[in-house]
Chains A and B, each alone.
Chain A
Amino acid sequence: MTLLSVENLRVTFPSDHGPVEVVRGLSFTLGRERLGIVGESGSGKSMTGRAVMGLVAPPGRVTADRLEFEGRDLRSLPEREFRALRGPRMSMVLQDPRYSLNPVIRIGAQIEEALAVHGNLTAKDRRTRMLDALNAVRIDDPERVARLYPHEVSGGMGQRVMIAMMVVLEPALMIADEPTSALDVSVRGQVLDILDDLVKRRGMGLMLISHDLNMVARWCDRILVMYRGEVVEELGAGALHQAQHPYTRGLIASLPRLDETRDRLPVLDRSLL
């Protein structure tokens, strides 16, 4: 069942030397599954997520032949209706919690706000839901953390807070932009389990954006490999070895493995591209 279908998505920014395309004709569909998006820095991963959320700020421009979410054409959706989708239907965990949490609002209030602007829960229910969400991301003392300001928590804690804030409404589509990059390996597994649980139990569709090909390959159903704003390869998770594109092969070759000893790690050879 298709949740999101995207055809020929383009994001363009004006620059001194004419318009620059940072996403160049991306096409994919997403069902109630885990789709991994990998690619090097600057390849347009975050921008793709923002385009789907309708949050590319001017002067950036988004065009697509098709941009459909739950049967609705997002390209022509009035802003008011789009806003009603953001939060309860689609959501996005932003890349860096150091910048993506409001510095002067307490963590608990930032999470409750998501509940307050949609639906009509009582203050007491909102608080319960907020504490549950913090609990769900394995924060042991949610009462205390809820009272803190973002600068008072670590990067890993901030990332979990961010995830809690975005899952609290249990959206149908979740775009997670490097959601675990600041987490310890042990916590990383737990956080991925939470997202996994939402996919399995609630039928959520997940776009997991990451640099980490290994993690994505292990954990997602399908993988898109992006390079310079384009999808260069689409792979089933188990089929990493079938990768055709030199960029992907280069990426795989540069993954360190435990069962080998090498003097040098191979680096990506751009002359092949």
Chain B
Amino acid sequence: MPALRFLLTLAVTFLGLLAITFVIGRVVPIDPVLAVVGDRASAETYEQVRAEMGLNDPLPLQFARYVLSVLQGDLGQSVSTGRAVAEDLARVFPATLEMATLGIIIGVALGVPMGVFAAARQGSWVDQVIRVIGLAGYAIPAFWLGLVGLVIFYANLRWVGGPGRIDLFLDGMVPVRTGLLLVDSAIAGDWESFVSAFSHIVLPATILGFFALAYIARMTRSFMLEQLSQEYIVTARVKGVPERLILWRHAFRPIRVQLITVIGLSYAGLLEGSVMIETVFSWPGIGNYLTTALLNADMNAVLGATLVIGAVFVGINKGSDALYRVLDPRART
């Protein structure tokens, strides 16, 4: 029963998302007919194409048609790439997913322990350093960090690969299975490609990871401080529980639930907000795709990309809701 409810709200949310992209498609000052016929077509041709595209039908009918075609995986043609938008997205989205996932892994693996230790040593120099890092994550622009990173680690030190996902001479060598280069090259056992792909992704992913880390550490710290002032922490101390267990068992466990929400938000933020980094690193991801589409007034591509980003957001949100229920005994009943 809860599962059914869950699916139902998921469906409703998704329908809402489709309604939003549909409305955007109607209100933006881009004429889809003009995009097809060109601006030198005669009025009759224009009208004919407009009718063929169903744009004279009542809006609810248009919306129903839109929903149906999306459900069938049809997002229309892209005028800038000349391919189906769905096909384009299937190619660019994994690139973004790969980078953002590596970024969130770095952010969680470092940010959570940092937040916990900052709270445990509140006011100490460790805490100060971690707080400064947290602030830096707010203040430093992503593109600046990307450029500086490229200059230092790529141009000068040659520690990492440069822009793009992989060295040029290896591009297209790995058979596409998941679209995630690291995974595909590992499956294929092509370690040369793997190493190359890794050397390209490590810098942008670390920079994304830094922003995630700054946010996650800051939130973890404040959740932990709140926990550490609770009465049940005193209870644990009365029992003589060692400080390490007080931190991780008594204070950290209750905040896992809140942290999941934070991590989910942060992950969604990396997935949709990596435009700057993708531009700086010529990363062929959804951010770059969306930027190009916007500049070319490529409406189908813009709406398709928006839809994917929205769907990811909804998915992460619902996923963390579901985990919430698993982890918090109070939310289960």
Q: Are B253's CB and A104's CB within 8 A?
A: yes
- 8 Å CB contact of B250 from A84, A88, A102: A102
Q: Does A153 contact B (CB under 8 A)?
A: no
Specify which chain B residues have a CB less than 8 angstroms from the CB of A100 in the assembled complex.
Answer: 231-232, 234-235
Indicate whether A151 sits within 8 Å of B330 (C-beta atoms), given known contacts A100-B234, A105-B253.
Answer: yes
Greatest chain B CB density within 10 A among A92, A103, A104, A114 is at A104
Specify which chain B residues have a CB less than 8 angstroms from the CB of A253 in the assembled complex.
Answer: none
Q: Does B249 contact A (CB under 8 A)?
A: yes
- 8 Å CB contact of B240 from A84, A105, A149: A84
Q: Are B238's CB and A83's CB within 8 A?
A: no
Q: Are A99's CB and B242's CB within 8 A?
A: no
Indicate whether A113 sits within 8 Å of B241 (C-beta atoms), given known contacts A103-B254, A151-B329.
Answer: yes
Specify which chain A residues have a CB less than 8 angstroms from the CB of B329 in the assembled complex.
Answer: 103-104, 149, 151
Number of A-B contacts (CB under 8 A): 76
Q: Does A129 contact B (CB under 8 A)?
A: no
Cα–Cα, bound, A87→B242 (Å): 12
Q: Does A248 contact B (CB under 8 A)?
A: no
Indicate whether A94 sits within 8 Å of B231 (C-beta atoms), given known contacts A102-B254, A104-B329, A151-B329.
Answer: yes
Specify which chain B residues have a CB less than 8 angstroms from the CB of A113 in the assembled complex.
Answer: 236, 239, 241
Q: Are B239's CB and A86's CB within 8 A?
A: yes
Chain B contact patch, size range? 20 to 34
- 8 Å CB contact of B238 from A53, A57, A152: A53
Chain A contact patch, size range? 20 to 34
Q: Does B237 contact A (CB under 8 A)?
A: yes
Indicate whether A105 sits within 8 Å of B249 (C-beta atoms), given known contacts A55-B238, A117-B240.
Answer: yes
A55-B237, A105-B250, A114-B239 provided; 15 other pairs, C-beta below 8 A? A53-B237, A55-B234, A83-B240, A94-B235, A94-B238, A96-B231, A100-B235, A101-B232, A104-B328, A113-B241, A117-B241, A117-B245, A118-B240, A151-B329, A166-B238
Q: What is A's interface to B at a CB cutoff of 8 Å? A: 50, 53, 55, 57, 83-88, 91-92, 94, 96, 99-105, 113-114, 117-118, 149, 151-152, 162, 165-166
Q: What is B's interface to A at a CB cutoff of 8 Å? A: 229-232, 234-242, 245, 249-250, 253-254, 327-330, 333
